[in-house]
Amino acid sequence: MKRLTPHHIYTLQPYQSARRIGLTGRIYLNANESPWSSTIKYQHTNLNRYPEFQSSVLLNKYAQYSNTSINNLLITRGADEGIELLIRAFCVPKNDKIMFFPPTYDMYAVIANIYNIKKKIIPILSNFQLDLINIKKYINNVKLIYICNPNNPTGNFFLKKDIISILDMIPQTTLLIIDEAYVDFSIKNSFVPQLNKYSNLVVLRTLSKAFGLSALRCGFVLSNSNIINVLKKVSAPYPIATPVSDLAIKSLQLENIKCVQKNILQITSNKDLLVKELQSFSCVDHVFPSKTNFILVKFFRSDVIFQHFLLHGIIVRDQSCKIGLSNCVRISIGTINECQDLIKVLRMFKGKKDIR
């Protein structure tokens, strides 16, 4: 296999998704999923026919939701496929490079490695904002720039003026991609309104987070029609299964959107409660502000706390190996009962005053 497989694939470290890691428990707070199951049902039986390349009904529904045109939209298998299609369409292996800002979503690096694309990595500052000085210094000849906004796993938005300054400095031959997987939790901060001003701006969206449809794998690329048409060239012939588009269409009905908005308010309330409780523990160094459905928590000994949660069936996400995030754990916001259970389990940790 070593002789058969290209070196960059043989040495590839795949993305370690929550399911791929394989930890099991009774409460899952490790994948930023919605704690509530969707009640949307699939009813059709026309599975003997291939689906539309791009569902016209779904395009219209999401265009209405996002206040864009159907010509500015591409439906993808989650935002992950959008990340990949952009590299596939616009980057030449071993020649072009992308830029991103860790700690952030790992798939930007993983997909670049799969396609043998060079990477320019500029870590964010200690205040979790963009390092504009070094971005400007190394921006030359970068083809794609990925910004996760709000950022995962830090949970914060980057300053809008900083992102605008990057847009103003880069040439038309460089695309700025803003990954808005979590923007529904604070929709006013979306960069979609800027699409009409910047022809090299791309926005990624998904139904996995606020809409509670992680299993559906349905996302969207939003950009100008020229970029969308190039992405269509490299897309799979039938990227979106009929059941997926049907369920996505139902999720974008007004009645369900109101339910999603209600759930967002509940997540915010649960998050506020969880943050307040966590701040009372001596084993907690800091709870970082978050505009998403998760929080990043710095413990005095995250490895001990992680194992304590695991022992009691609560699965969280260890982030301590990421740059600048030593002793940090990411916790998805669950139901009120799940949040209270997590606090109860943390209170059971007898050594909480001794791990400083």
**At residue 238, does pLDDT exceed 80?**
yes
Share of the chain above pLDDT 90, in %: 90
Other beta carbons less than 10 A from residue 141's beta carbon: 13
**At residue 347, does pLDDT exceed 90?**
yes
User: Chain-wide mean pLDDT for the chain?
Assistant: 95
Q: Which residues on neighbouring strands pair with residue 299, listed in sequence order?
A: 284
Q: Which CATH number fits domain 56-253: 3.50.50.60, 3.40.640.10, 1.10.10.60, 3.40.800.10?
A: 3.40.640.10
Mean pLDDT computed over 43-71: 93
| CA dist., res. 41 & res. 22, Å (int) | 28
Q: Where in the chain is the domain with CATH 3.40.640.10?
A: 56-253
pLDDT tens digits, one per residue of 106-126: 999 999 999 999 999 999 999
Q: What is the pLDDT of residue 356?
A: 44
**At residue 248, does pLDDT exceed 80?**
yes
| CA dist., res. 29 & res. 31, Å (int) | 6
CA pseudo-torsion sign 94, 96, 100, 106:
negative
Helix (H, G, I), strand (E, B) or coil at 74: strand
| CA dist., res. 249 & res. 351, Å (int) | 50
pLDDT tens digits, one per residue of 89-106: 999 999 999 999 999 999
Mean pLDDT computed over 46-52: 90
pLDDT tens digits, one per residue of 135-184: 999 999 999 999 999 999 999 999 999 999 999 999 999 999 999 999 99
Q: What is the pLDDT of residue 230?
A: 98
Identify the DSSP state of 215.
Answer: G
Question: Cβ(251)–Cβ(211) under 8 Å?
Answer: yes
SS (H, E, C) 135-175: HHHHCCCEEEEEEECCCCCCCCCCCHHHHHHHHHHCCCCCE
Q: What is the pLDDT of residue 350?
A: 59
Q: What is the pLDDT of residue 355?
A: 47
| CA dist., res. 161 & res. 278, Å (int) | 32
pLDDT tens digits, one per residue of 259-310: 999 999 999 999 999 999 999 999 999 999 999 999 999 999 999 999 999 9
The Cβ-side half-sphere exposure at 261, using a 13 Å CA radius, reads 9
Question: Cβ(79)–Cβ(107) under 8 Å?
Answer: no
Q: What is the pLDDT of residue 40?
A: 83
Q: What is the pLDDT of residue 250?
A: 95
pTM of the model: 0.95
Other beta carbons less than 10 A from residue 172's beta carbon: 8
- Domain with residues 7-33+256-347, CATH architecture: Alpha-Beta Complex (3.90)
Q: What is the pLDDT of residue 351?
A: 52
**At residue 354, does pLDDT exceed 50?**
no
Q: Which of these ranges, 45-49, 200-204, 342-346, has the smallest mean pLDDT?
A: 45-49
Q: At 250, which helix (H) or strand (E)?
A: helix 242-251
Q: Where in the chain is the domain with CATH 3.90.1150.10?
A: 7-33+256-347
Between the alpha carbon of residue 178 and those of residues 77, 82, 164, the distances in Å are 17, 11, 11
Write the single-letter amino acid at 56: S
